[in-house]
Structure 1
């Protein structure tokens, strides 16, 4: 049935064929309405939603985990009023994780301006940056744990956990507060503790690190971690321009994939 209506709609729109020649007892308005309803059905299947309970407004993926939801895109309400969509990882490491950054293939460029990093960009199902204003909304609720997973092109995996992760408001320059490292990747992010976020058009460093390192990050002078740098596929010639994690692979190796996600402590 779906295929019939989609085919009819295609002919109507692109072939400019009169509706009465295709379905004698149906008008163009009827066809258009059915196609619109079908699109709504498809979208509802692609985006997961919480139960039909107006009082249930999850503040993060941890709340959805308690309600036994599976991994997917959900709408959350950190301040109980306004909302935004996030990807929830309910499968790895006991679940309940709100994914804030993901890189897998280089199709999404991360060398962007302040507003892009503020609002977020990319596709929540694949590669993206959630958005600094949303990181602030989430982490101002209380203490959050940050987990970073990273992979090289030889399929080796390392991780870094920080038992405290806070992104302050825009007035502070989205200043980073991070502490309590545990993991096997080496502690790179503590080097950036207390520093403001920088982008190519709003750089808080004297060395113009965002431009030099081709990304947006809490640059210092310039970095030990550069997870939003260029996607350079392994070994590269220029120091510090790739997806680098200094303690593990140094400044001349760009990682294949990264994932940053947070959960209440």
Structure 2
């Protein structure tokens, strides 16, 4: 016969195993619900940073990286987010760039192992390596920005160093409107690098629909996405575009080394 103490220990052990089993099931169920989980390797699934349950045993999801980094203590990496009205999906959160809380929409480097000459449907969703060069997806950019006021930071690196170009607002419209880009005014010193809005209307990307090699929505007689080799908000083949063949930002570099697009809620959301 078991002693009372031994029996209590066994009951506790069984309870803990059942709780752990239920928790593991909940986590696997959450992973199965991630809309773009197919982009992650098994190792990256294990490195999702917000799978730790709270005191009630639930994994709490936030609408974006800024909400995750509310107290500025989170690390950069892969997180699950769930904007209002959306299914969960994974993003790479940059918690190190000025103030943290940035969702990475695109990261691309010259001669990248991730090709960007893809079709319209590929650009709707995530492709590439979430921890390196990737495209988050127009649909996810729309879901994040449709119910809040977001700012954007473009980080462009050349042989002379990095240049950051900031705009006060950033919004991607829905698929019916071909994921049209809406940008606010450049912030501070970024005005001198503003080739996306008012500097040159023929090259401006603001208010342009997204184009891909099989979906020509630009204002040029050519299909700019096919000519240049990557999807973008082209106007007349534009002053700015990012792909693995050529990363170009007029006034910064013609053949840049890398580029990153980062978004987060602006202070407008706090008013």
Paired residue for 1:177, among 182, 207, 216?
182
247 and 42 in structure 1: CA distance in 2 versus 1, 3 angstrom threshold: closer
Matches within 5 A, 1:92-107: 92-105=97-110, 106-107=112-113
**Residue 47 of structure 1: how far off its partner (Å):** 2.1
8 Å CA contact 1:59, 1:80 repeated in 2: no
Q: How many residue pairs get matched?
A: 211
**Residue 57 of structure 1: how far off its partner (Å):** 1.9
Matched residue SS, 1:181: coil
Matches within 5 A, 1:220-235: 220-228=235-243, 230-231=244-245
Aligned twin of 1:52: 53
Stretches of structure 2 that go unaligned for 5 or more consecutive residues are 1-41, 198-203, 267-271
**Residue 247 of structure 1: how far off its partner (Å):** 2.4
Aligned twin of 2:207: 194
8 Å CA contact 2:142, 2:172 repeated in 1: yes
Which has the bigger relative contact order, CA under 8 A and spacing at least 6?
Answer: 2
Please identify runs of 4+ aligned residues in structure 1 that moved more than 6 A.
none
Residue 167 (1) aligns with residue 200 (2): no
Distance (whole Å) between structure 1 residues aligned to residue 231 and residue 44 of structure 2: 32
Matches within 5 A, 1:72-151: 72-79=77-84, 82-105=87-110, 106-151=112-157
TM (norm. structure 2) is 0.73
**Residue 180 of structure 1: how far off its partner (Å):** 1.2
State the Cα RMSD in Å: 2.0
Distance (whole Å) between structure 2 residues aligned to residue 155 and residue 45 of structure 1: 37
TM (norm. structure 1) is 0.74
Aligned twin of 2:265: 264
215 and 42 in structure 1: CA distance in 2 versus 1, 3 angstrom threshold: closer
